[in-house]
Amino acid sequence: MRKKNNLKICLTPDNFSNYHISDHTLVVVVDLLRATTVISTAFHYGIKEIIPVQGVDKAREYFGKENHIVAAERNAMALEGFDYGNSPFQYMNDNIKGKNLVLTTTNGTHAINIARKYKVITASFINIDAVLDFLISSSKDVLILCSGWKGVFNLEDSLFAGCLANRLLLSTYFETNCDSVLASSRLYHQSKDNMFNYLSESAHRKRLKSLNMERDTKFCLTPTIKSSIIPTLIGEKLVRA
């Protein structure tokens, strides 16, 4: 019988260094509302590679570079002067096909950066089935890293992490001794019949609501597209795998 792999969830990037994980652990970054959903969407609509950068200034260095789209979001708003923001709907067009996307967001790109010494992939409800198959077939330990909001726990990332963790444990190839897995997976069970309502009091839904982005939230929770692409960090870039 195959040895079970270990599964953990880290609820915010600031706790990441307290997880003693091995060098061959796979880190699955999630920033459900909206960075990792945007990443899945952009790949689905034909983006070639994605360069996640932490600072807005770093993103600006790509202005005018051929075949590059530059996107920036801070505090849930697209930044002025940039081609795109952090709404998945902006990426549903043929214009992005074959281009590279430079992306900086409040939390998601920070989480990717913190984990970059490990093998990093990104997940959303768009590619969750493919991510599940990939993790099961990899036979490696898994840490799901929630991006949170400015260093603080958020509900939506933990619900997604709970959903993925739950399915990994059901596969019988994983085991866990991690309280974040228990908590996230129990919260997911409470929420799964209507995640949109379950999140109605959450801080980020209120934030997006006040910004009139309910449509984005609905798409991130129940996307109308599916993708088998596993965005995988190779060097500085997320590539299709």
Residues in contact with a second copy by CB under 8 A are: 10-12, 14-15, 17-19, 149-155, 158, 177-180, 182-183, 186-187, 190, 201-204, 206
Distance CA 159, CA 191 (A): 8
Integer angstrom CA distances of residue 139 from 1, 146, 163, 190? 12, 21, 19, 29
Phi then psi for residue 175, to 5 deg, are -135, 165
Query: At 29, which amino acid appears?
Result: V
Nearest-approach distance from CB 75 to a second copy, in angstroms: 14
How far is it between the farthest Cα atoms of the chain?
56
Nearest-approach distance from CB 49 to a second copy, in angstroms: 31
Which of residues 4 and 60 has its CB atom nearest to a second copy in the complex? Answer: 4
Distance CA 143, CA 229 (A): 19
Nearest-approach distance from CB 10 to a second copy, in angstroms: 8
Which of residues 33 and 69 has its CB atom nearest to a second copy in the complex? Answer: 33
Which of residues 14 and 133 has its CB atom nearest to a second copy in the complex? Answer: 14
- Asked whether 134 and 128 are in contact (CB, 8 A), the reply is no
- Asked whether 223 and 126 are in contact (CB, 8 A), the reply is yes
- Positive or negative, the CA dihedral 157, 139, 21, 120 is negative
**How many other C-beta atoms can be found within 10 angstroms of the C-beta atom of residue 54?**
14
Which of residues 5 and 154 has its CB atom nearest to a second copy in the complex? Answer: 154
- Asked whether 109 and 77 are in contact (CB, 8 A), the reply is no
> Closest Cα to residue 182, out of 157, 164, 199, 165?
165
Nearest-approach distance from CB 234 to a second copy, in angstroms: 29
Nearest-approach distance from CB 15 to a second copy, in angstroms: 6
Which of residues 16 and 82 has its CB atom nearest to a second copy in the complex? Answer: 16
Which of residues 49 and 141 has its CB atom nearest to a second copy in the complex? Answer: 141
Nearest-approach distance from CB 80 to a second copy, in angstroms: 26
